Structure 1
Amino acid sequence: MEYKRGDRVEVIDSEEGFEGSYYGAVIVTKLNGDEYIVTYDTLLKEDLSGPLREVVEADNLRPKPPPPEGDQPTRYRLYQSVDVFHNDGWWVGRIIGKIGSVYNVFFDSTQEELPYGVEALRIHQDWVDGTWVTPAVKKLEIKS
């Protein structure tokens, strides 16, 4: 996919410890080949003087996911894949329970279960061949 200046995107992080996380950004410019300069929405420069700007390969970019359809508040189901806004980015997990208005989310990558309010959640979608795909709900497999 070709992006242009000002496009809202998410950068997929594959560094150790950050696998499966996505960070909001905006396209600044396209470089030669399949690289872009992006400015992040929530990540800052090391000196905290402003938003982080870096070169990203096109394979590590996807468009910003669309919002849920309809005006109804999103209702999450048991074992549904969700993205959780945590540590300045979106992390993939699964709903494993709910107490009141707090959802318990399990992260396969860290084998952790953490509580989140609905404001920190969104339905997980994958960008596959230019189309947004919502994964099927599947049972949780906790490694021992």
Structure 2
Amino acid sequence: MAQPGPRAPLCSACYQRARRARQGPEIARRANLWSKYRITVEQYDSMRTSQDYRCAICGVHESEVDISRVGGRPRKDGRALEKMPLAVDHDHRTGEVRGLLCPGCNAGLGNFAEDPSRLWSAVAYLERFRTTG
């Protein structure tokens, strides 16, 4: 039987996926925050504190967030995924981090393509149909 040849080098994404599969949740969290948003865990925690552990838009406290709505792929090694109730919100054009949002507000901004005119139009629409009392 022929011996298998040397393994081909992994692409960057496959290498990162394999490396993170071996890491614990805290190391993976640190790596994800840095690779996606260029912030540290300490910076994330500082934002949580400065926002009083609340969504920057609706003000819901992180303890009231249904983390079953929080995304994240399950870990292949079966270890628990550390889910954070407040997502890092960032400008998709510039990468600038704006704050921390609950899943609903984060999805809402995304669904409106981060377009203020669409959001204002939605507000005007809701105001037209607002009932008093």
In which range does the TM-score fall when normalised by the shorter chain? under 0.3
Larger Rg: 2
Which structure has more helix as a fraction of its residues? 2
**Greater strand percent: which structure?**
1
For normalisation by structure 2, the TM-score amounts to: 0.27
